[in-house]
């Protein structure tokens, strides 16, 4: 059994682990995740991918975004709304980003609305950890619980993690939206039933 207060403690432990990663490990992780993702069939086929710009010690997504954009994939990025929900706008290269709230870099293109995430063929999801059932621990704003509820059942949703962040079990609440797969640098893509 888990108490919901556990989430806060687990978040702190995971953020501490990320902060302790050395730069070489981070660079290698970003490359492994980028190369791993670019080879996922759904990603290769995708016309539109909903992604995000990494912040802090999250696995770095910038070279992945650039690679997707260069190969002609339409990339949507989130903009954090005051109520924690996510709006979406297109990525038009590194120059199309500007500082937003919470240390985030956000797209400067016109926002397309909270429902735009439903047009993505693949959704890349930030997470602090994911468990073996796909339950995801995020930053606590409930942003992706709302966004993922708008994504169709056949769409691949993938959390990007550092090694060690795909864990046996996380506390789950009724509103928690599961991801359908997780990618770690050393473990590759793991799909959940
Ligand atoms: N890269 C990224 N983008 C995202 C999310 C995320 O988790 N990661 N979000 C997921 O819902 C939404 C934004 N929510 C966020 C909520 C809190 C913080 C946050 O705690 N920022 C730290 C600084 C970053 C760090 O050092 O880790 C801070 O404010 O202190 C960031 C984003 C949408 N965009
Ligand atoms: N559909 C929703 N509408 C409004 N609030 C919601 C919704 N889903 C979850 N929340 C709220 O968001 C809060 C945080 O939820 P939770 O701890 O699961 O966040 P998280 O998934 O870790 O965060 P994030 O998705 O922002 O990374 C909860 O208080 C919850 O009530």
What pLDDT band is residue 2 in, cutting at 50, 70 and 90?
Answer: low
Query: How far is the centre of ligand 2, averaged over its atoms, from the C-alpha of 79 (Å)?
Result: 16
Query: Residue ranges per domain, the chain?
Result: 6-191
In sequence order, the β-bridge partners of residue 191 are 181
pLDDT tens digits, 109-123: 999 999 999 999 999
pLDDT given at position 58:
98
Query: 140 with 11: CB under 8 angstroms?
Result: yes
pLDDT tens digits, 29-53: 999 999 999 999 999 999 999 999 9
Which residue carries 């956000």 as its tokens?
106
Atom of ligand 2 nearest to the CA of 137: 22
Which of 102, 114, 138, 142 for a ligand 1 pocket mutation test, highest count of atoms within 8 Å of Cβ? 102
Q: Which helix (H) or strand (E) holds 130?
A: strand 129-131
Q: Is 54 in the pocket of ligand 1 (CB under 6 A)?
A: yes
The CA distance from 34 to 36, in Å, is 5
Whole-prediction pTM: 0.96
Q: For residue 58, which ligand has an atom nearest its CA?
A: 1
Calculate ∠ Cα 14-16-18, nearest 5°.
70
Domain 6-191 classification at class level: alpha beta
């Amino acid at each position: 059994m888990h108490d919901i207060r556990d989430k806060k403690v687990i978040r702190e432990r995971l953020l501490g682990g990320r902060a302790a990663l050395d730069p070489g490990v981070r660079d290698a992780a970003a490359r492994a995740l980028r190369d791993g993702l670019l080879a996922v069939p759904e990603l290769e086929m995708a016309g539109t991918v909903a992604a995000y710009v990494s912040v802090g010690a999250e696995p770095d997504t910038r070279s992945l975004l650039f690679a997707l954009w260069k190969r002609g994939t339409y990339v949507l990025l989130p903009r954090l709304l005051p109520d924690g929900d996510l709006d979406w706008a297109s990525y038009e290269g590194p120059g199309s980003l500007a500082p937003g709230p919470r240390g985030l870099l956000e797209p400067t293109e016109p926002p397309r609305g909270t429902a735009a995430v439903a047009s993505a063929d693949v959704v890349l999801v930030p997470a602090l950890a994911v468990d073996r059932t796909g339950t995801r621990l995020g930053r606590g704003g409930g942003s992706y619980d709302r966004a993922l509820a708008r994504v169709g059942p056949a769409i691949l949703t993938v959390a990007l993690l550092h090694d060690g962040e795909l864990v046996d079990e996380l506390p789950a609440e009724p509103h928690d939206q599961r991801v359908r797969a997780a990618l770690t640098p050393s473990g590759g893509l793991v799909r959940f039933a």
